[in-house]
């Protein structure tokens, strides 16, 4: 898309938090281990040099919202989208899928923060239409259905190494490209 277009940043907060907590940290992240969402927003603004519409999807099916978190998101420029539904519904996934489908009918590029392969059909449609589409995730936990779209043009950006979304180094075991290898990290 043109430089005067829009980048839609869609954040699957539930998925990012669950992956960080259970797959990387082995427990609930402490405040200093959580992503700095303002850095994610800045990265999105710089990625393709165009204005960003930042949407942060939240599961509010229990009837409550983490108001301090919602206020912080709003203050840095995100639009919180608290969704609710039946207990069997994956409300955040449904909301993001509907949003990706809606973006397909208008101009704009997409950065999706998630590892979830449920979004692969909608992401593939955008990639195949020639959109700039990026995935913000921990590469080693990205679903195969999303990772397989890189050959078709999906770009992946690692939340820790590319986006620099964290104040602390995460205890990840990942394949390290030789040009990124820093022996001092291990000494």
Q: Please check whether residue 2 lies inside any domain of the structure.
A: no
| Residue of 81, 103, 62, 104 lying closest to 13 (CA atoms) | 81
| Residue of 78, 84, 79, 41 lying closest to 65 (CA atoms) | 84
Q: pLDDT band at residue 145, thresholds of 50, 70 and 90? A: very high
Q: pLDDT band at residue 1, thresholds of 50, 70 and 90? A: very low
Res 2: pLDDT: 41
Q: Please check whether residue 172 lies inside any domain of the structure.
A: yes
Domain count, the chain: 1
Q: Report, as an integer, the average pLDDT of 38-59.
A: 96
Q: Please check whether residue 1 lies inside any domain of the structure.
A: no
d(CA 160, CA 156): 12
Q: Evaluate if residue 115 carries a pLDDT over 90.
A: yes
Q: Please check whether residue 111 lies inside any domain of the structure.
A: yes
Q: Report, as an integer, the average pLDDT of 107-115.
A: 96
Q: Report, as an integer, the average pLDDT of 20-40.
A: 93
DSSP the chain: --TTS-EEEEEEHHHHHHIIIIIIISSPPPGGGS--HHHHHHHHHHHTTS-EEEEEEEE-TTS---HHHHHHHHHHTEEEEEE---TTS-HHHHHHHHHHHHHHTSS-EEEEE---GGGHHHHHHHHHTT--EEEEE-GGGS-HHHHGGGGGT-EEEETTTTS---SS---------GGG--GGGG-
Q: Which domain holds residue 113?
A: 7-186
Res 4: pLDDT: 64
| Angle ∠(65,24,178) on CA atoms, nearest 5 | 130
Q: Please check whether residue 68 lies inside any domain of the structure.
A: yes
Q: pLDDT band at residue 109, thresholds of 50, 70 and 90? A: very high
Which CATH number covers residue 168?
A: 3.40.50.1010
Q: Please check whether residue 38 lies inside any domain of the structure.
A: yes
């Amino acid at each position: 898309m043109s430089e005067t277009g829009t980048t839609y940043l869609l954040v699957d907060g539930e998925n990012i938090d669950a992956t960080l907590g259970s797959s990387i940290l082995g427990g609930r992240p402490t405040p200093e281990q959580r992503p700095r969402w303002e850095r994610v927003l800045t990265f999105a603004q710089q990625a393709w040099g165009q204005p960003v519409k930042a949407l942060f999807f939240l599961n509010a099916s229990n009837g409550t919202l983490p108001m301090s978190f919602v206020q912080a998101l709003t203050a840095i420029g995100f639009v919180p989208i608290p969704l609710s539904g039946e207990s069997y519904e994956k409300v955040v996934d449904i909301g993001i899928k509907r949003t990706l489908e809606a973006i397909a009918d208008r101009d704009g590029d997409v950065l999706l923060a998630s590892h979830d392969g449920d979004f692969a059909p909608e992401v593939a449609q955008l990639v195949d239409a020639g959109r700039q589409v990026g995935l913000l995730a921990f590469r080693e936990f990205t679903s195969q259905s999303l990772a397989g779209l890189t050959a078709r043009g999906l770009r992946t950006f690692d939340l820790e190494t590319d986006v620099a979304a964290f104040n602390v180094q995460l205890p990840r075991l990942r394949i390290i490209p030789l040009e990124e290898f820093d022996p001092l990290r291990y000494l």
